[in-house]
Amino acid sequence: MAHRRVDVDEIIGDEDQYEDDVVQYSVADLENISNVKTQDVRNYLQRGDFVNALARALDQPCYGGAEVEPLKNIAMQNIFQVLSSIRPTDIPQIVGLLNSQQIDTLVKYIYKGLASPAVFNSNILLSWHEKVIELSGPGSIARCLTDRRLV
């Protein structure tokens, strides 16, 4: 440690002291939000309003531990349903209408889907990944990988 003049561990301290900016909901509240969101996404898809369907599916992502894992899976199903409904030629136009927070959340869901190739079609997710990163740049990947909140 002779090469270090400052003890970084002393400055940083305990990482548990930092709280995420996640709004804490009860599991019942998250279930209600999930049910309403699922219905809204289906309604938008039936009307062919893919932009609002994707924006609604990305709104209020479900963060939390094992107790909300079923709700996270429902959210992933919603996202994949929207992504698979959109033609590949329309992807750049739709991604261009999303804000940076929505794009970062979308990248998280794409990676979550790619982690389960038996459940989700990787071809669809990879085509979305290509178009999203092409438009948003590699910063979305870095923010997704460094964010401790998992979808």
Instruction: Give me the pLDDT at residue 41, please.
Output: 98
Instruction: Give me the pLDDT at residue 22, please.
Output: 53
Helix (H, G, I), strand (E, B) or coil at 129: helix
**Range with the lowest mean pLDDT among 1-15, 17-31, 72-86, 126-140?**
1-15
DSSP string, 61-120: ----SGGGHHHHHHHHHHHHHHHHHS-GGGHHHHHHTS-HHHHHHHHHHHHHHHT-TTTS
Instruction: Evaluate whether 76 touches 151 at the Cβ level (below 8 Å).
Output: yes
pTM (2 decimals)?
0.84
pLDDT tens-digit readout, 73-110: 999 999 999 999 999 999 999 999 999 999 999 999 99
- The share of the chain scoring above pLDDT 70, in percent, equals 85
120 band by pLDDT with thresholds 50, 70 and 90 = very high
Tokens 């669809």 correspond to 124
